[in-house]
Amino acid sequence: MNVKNKRVVLDVNVWFSIFRNDNLRLIRSFVARNTTLLRSQLLERELERVLKDKEFRWRKPIELYLRFFYNFTVPIPTVSIFKDCRDPDDNYLFDLAIQTKADYLVSGDGDVLATPIPPPTKVISYTQFKEMFEIQKPLLNDKKPSQKSQGFLDWLKKDLAKFFKK
């Protein structure tokens, strides 16, 4: 399955998992494949709320995770329309995915995964999504990147390495 140039909505539980596990390989894979990660104001607020929850001890200051989130996502204004999720608190994810015609809505939440969504968006689990990105050979090995792309990728590699070492 081709995962190049996709538009993707990640549920807060997926962001939590990426941050908790310092999944640098998956983030690099997103960038190398020109994956556009989308966010709405409601997704921002929910992520901030979850990150500030005192039950989990973060390895780095929460502000670093939020900066990372804002730097690697595209803000999209949405309107609350969708009402069909079993958990009404998750309807904002469907609004974002549908209104942006995202290719994937990725979640680990059973209510989200069980909710039908109109095409072209597919609702898939985080495990399925990781497999799609990690099983394929990195695109950088498929062809030599341009000098400009290589410069960006070198900068990104250094920036991500600093982020995950803090």
User: What average pLDDT does range 74-102 have in this prediction?
Assistant: 97
161: phi then psi, degrees, rounded to nearest 5: -60, -40
Can you tell me the distance from the alpha carbon of 38 to that of 33, in angstroms, rounded to the nearest whole number? 15
Distance of CA 60 to the CA centre of its chain: 19
Please give the pLDDT value at position 49.
92
- Contact indicator for 90, 109 with CB cutoff of 8 Å: yes
pLDDT at 73 over 90: yes
- Between 18 and 106, the more confident residue is 106
Q: Read off the DSSP letter of residue 124.
A: E
Q: Write down the pLDDT at residue 65.
A: 86
pLDDT at 106: 96
What integer pLDDT is reported at residue 138 of this predicted model?
46
Taken in order of first residue, the domains within the chain and their CATH numbers are 7-165 (3.40.50.1010)
Confidence check: pLDDT of 141 > 50: no
Least confident interval from 43-47, 53-57, 83-87, 105-109: 53-57
Q: What's the pTM value of the predicted model, to 2 decimals?
A: 0.80
* pLDDT (tens digit per residue) in 90-140: 999 999 999 999 999 999 999 999 999 999 999 999 999 888 876 544 444
Residues 6+ apart with CB under 8 A from 41: 75, 77, 78
